[in-house]
């Protein structure tokens, strides 16, 4: 960050009075610009024994599979974000049940939240961010082609919980991936 979004003056990286972390502070008006983690919200939508997956048409991870999810917008709830992202990426209508996984991804300053959901019908299609959309059973999921570790983790928890007949809220912290 180089300029203040409040007045346009230059900013300096320093620890403000009463804080413990460096922040960008406007040298003219004193506005403190906080940078906080991004929220990624989506849905694990189920139809009978199958899960709705999207093949990504955008970076990162173009061509790989994911649950419909994306960055939460201002002025929406996490539930609204999950419903919106599912409609945008899969043109699919869902009914949310409960928040299922919360995955902290601190090395990229993100928090991923996935809801369990019920697909309301099978009238879905790829949105502009998806190459294709499909309903898949557990044995059909291309595990080596899942775009994000948080999605693979959520899917593995879901299938394990489904086998046990009991779903519980899951929280996890993902460390940085191993160096290639």
Cα gap 42→59, rounded to integer Å: 17
Is residue 34 within 8 Å of 49, Cβ to Cβ?
Answer: no
Q: Do β-strands 50-56 and 65-66 pair in parallel, antiparallel, or remain unpaired?
A: antiparallel
Asked if 42 and 110 sit in the same domain, the reply is: yes
pLDDT of 139 strictly over 90: yes
Q: Which CATH number do you get for residue 26?
A: 2.20.70.10
Question: What are 11's two structure tokens?
Answer: 């900013």
Asked if 51 and 80 sit in the same domain, the reply is: yes
**104 phi and psi, to 5 degrees?**
-80, 130
Predicted local confidence at residue 179, as pLDDT = 83
Cα gap 104→123, rounded to integer Å: 33
Asked if 142 and 124 sit in the same domain, the reply is: yes
Closest CA to 41 of 91, 80, 90: 80
pLDDT tens for each residue of 18-69: 999 999 999 999 999 999 999 999 999 999 999 999 999 999 999 999 999 9
Asked if 120 and 50 sit in the same domain, the reply is: yes
Asked if 28 and 9 sit in the same domain, the reply is: yes
Overall average pLDDT of the 135-143 stretch: 98
Predicted local confidence at residue 88, as pLDDT = 98
Is residue 82 within 8 Å of 39, Cβ to Cβ?
Answer: no
Predicted local confidence at residue 180, as pLDDT = 73
Closest CA to 86 of 39, 53, 113: 53
Predicted local confidence at residue 15, as pLDDT = 96
Asked if 129 and 49 sit in the same domain, the reply is: yes
Q: Which domain holds residue 13?
A: 1-35
pLDDT tens for each residue of 59-109: 999 999 999 999 999 999 999 999 999 999 999 999 999 999 999 999 999
Average pLDDT, the chain: 97
Cα gap 128→170, rounded to integer Å: 30
Predicted local confidence at residue 108, as pLDDT = 96
Predicted local confidence at residue 14, as pLDDT = 96
């Amino acid at each position: 960050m180089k300029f203040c979004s409040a007045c346009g003056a230059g900013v300096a990286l320093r620890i403000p009075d009463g804080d413990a972390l460096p922040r960008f502070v406007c040298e003219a008006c004193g506005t403190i610009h906080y940078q906080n983690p991004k929220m990624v919200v989506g849905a694990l939508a189920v139809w009978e024994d199958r899960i709705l997956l999207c093949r990504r048409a955008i970076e990162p991870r173009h061509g790989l599979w994911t649950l419909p999810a994306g960055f939460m917008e201002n002025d929406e709830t996490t539930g609204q974000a999950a419903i919106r992202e599912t409609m945008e990426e899969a043109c699919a209508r869902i009914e949310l049940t409960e928040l299922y996984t919360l995955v902290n991804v601190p090395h990229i300053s993100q928090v991923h939240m996935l809801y369990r959901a019920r697909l309301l019908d099978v009238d879905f299609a790829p949105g502009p961010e998806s190459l294709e959309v499909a309903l898949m059973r557990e044995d059909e999921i291309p595990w080596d082609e899942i775009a994000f570790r948080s999605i693979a983790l959520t899917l593995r928890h879901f299938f394990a919980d489904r086998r046990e007949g009991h779903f519980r809220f899951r929280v996890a912290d993902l460390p940085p991936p191993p160096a290639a």
